[in-house]
Amino acid sequence: MEYTMRVPAKRFYQELMQSLAGDIEQATGKKIAPKTIHKGYTYKKKTQDGKEFTICVKEVETDHLYTSVSRSETEEITVTYELETLDDQHCRIRYRDHYHRLDGQPDSNWQVKLMDRISKRRLRKLFKRMEQHLLKGS
* pLDDT the model gives residue 109: 59
* pLDDT the model gives residue 121: 79
- Strand ranges (DSSP E) for the chain? 2-5, 42-46, 52-61, 65-71, 75-87, 90-101
Taking every pair of C-alpha atoms in the chain, what is the biggest distance, in angstroms? 48
Which domains are assigned to the chain? 2-137 (3.30.530.20)
* pLDDT the model gives residue 40: 98
Report mean pLDDT in 10-residue bins for the chain, 138 residues: 94 95 96 97 93 96 97 91 96 91 70 62 86 84
